[in-house]
Amino acid sequence: MSKLFRAVIMGPPGSGKGTISERIAHSFGLKHLSSGDFVRENIAAKTEAGVQAKTYIKKGLLVPDHVMTRLLLPRLEEMTKYSWLLDGFPRTLAQAEALNSACDLDVAINLNIPLETLKERLRHRWIHPPSGRVYNMCFNPPRVQGIDDITGEPLIQQEDDRPEALVARLRHYKDVAKPVTDFYKAKGILYTFSDTETDRIWPYINTLLSTKIPTIQSDARCASTH
Ligand SMILES: Nc1nc2c(ncn2[C@@H]2O[C@H](COP(=O)(O)OP(=O)(O)OP(=O)(O)O)[C@@H](O)[C@H]2O)c(=O)[nH]1
Ligand SMILES: Nc1ncnc2c1ncn2[C@@H]1O[C@H](COP(=O)(O)OP(=O)(O)O)[C@@H](O)[C@H]1O
């Protein structure tokens, strides 16, 4: 059984987690697991956790740790045969500890992007909610403004992406994120990337993962030849 690779990607709203996760999933064949997608699936399926989560999301709040953990850990149980990249979880120390009790992580990627850059990016972010596809009028615009490239359905801008909403989200993010990055720094697996452009960060993340992932698979190869 080849050793699997498990990573999380963290960063404030608009830092490029989704954008970079797609590139990682594509380049390294990892499963991209998004906690936001799991939440939306549960809300759509009207599961108990989904119904609870919806009441918090409607108020623009994070879902409570015990609800989020109960929703996410069983999904990770289904992924024991896969290498994956988890996006959007953990967001709190309690979530990081719950994840740590369920599985070992190889890398925690942390995106450190300036506030002004986040504001500018989210001002131009458009999304296609049914698919979660993300566009940006300055960075990766749709072929036709306001229209999803694949389905032709309309794109929307999220209420949460307005600059005034972002400031509140960022303040809350800063409070809850530091204990999580400290947790992974103490475990020696935190890698922080600071820049204003994804295209400048991507080569460093690509190099880091290229050094990690083949090692794991080559270990597996030598294990399997003995
Ligand atoms: N101008 C510019 N926009 C970028 C860059 N990288 C990502 N974006 C865009 O900025 C927005 C935020 O990127 P996302 O990948 O959605 O960021 P995120 O961290 O997943 O955001 P949340 O889901 O809100 O936590 C999107 O519209 C991206 O297309 C960049 O280097 N430059
Ligand atoms: N790890 C988490 N802990 C608590 N709530 C979460 C978590 N992940 C997602 N959520 C909830 O689901 C909502 C949608 O998540 P997501 O699609 O990642 O968007 P956002 O940009 O708001 O984080 C979040 O606003 C939050 O309320």
Q: How far is the CA of 31 from the centre of ligand 2 (A)?
A: 19
Q: How far is the CA of 125 from the centre of ligand 1 (A)?
A: 7
Query: In ligand 1, which atom is closest to the CA atom of 136?
Result: 27
pLDDT at 217 over 60: no
What structural domains does the chain harbor? 6-214 (3.40.50.300)
pLDDT at 84 over 50: yes
pLDDT at 224 over 50: no
Closest residue by CA, ligand 1 atom 24 = 13
Q: Which of 114-118, 120-124, 132-136, 210-214 is predicted with the least confidence, judged by mean pLDDT?
A: 210-214
- Categorize the per-residue pLDDT at 3 as very low, low, confident or very high, splitting at 50, 70 and 90: confident
Q: Report whether 17 belongs to an annotated binding site.
A: yes
**Exposed, middle or buried: residue 165 (CB in 10 Å: 0-12, 13-18, 19+)?**
middle
ipTM greater than 0.90: yes
If you search the block for the tokens 């458009």, which residue do you land on? 126
pLDDT at 85 over 90: yes
Let me know: does 25 contact 206? Beta carbons within 8 Å: no
Q: Report whether 107 belongs to an annotated binding site.
A: no
Q: Which amino acid is present at 92?
A: T
Crossing angle (nearest 10°) for helices 48-57 and 65-77: 140
Let me know: does 63 contact 9? Beta carbons within 8 Å: no
pLDDT tens figures, 133-176: 999 999 999 999 999 999 999 999 988 888 888 888 888 898 89
Q: Residues 44-60: what's their mean pLDDT?
A: 90
Write down the pLDDT at residue 226.
Answer: 40
pLDDT at 203 over 50: yes
pLDDT at 104 over 50: yes
Tell me if 13 CB under 6 Å of ligand 1. Answer: yes
The 8-class DSSP code of residue 143 comes to S
Tell me if 136 CB under 6 Å of ligand 2. Answer: no
108: left (phi over 0), alpha (psi -120 to 50) or beta: beta
Tell me if 52 CB under 6 Å of ligand 2. Answer: no
Predicted model pTM: 0.91
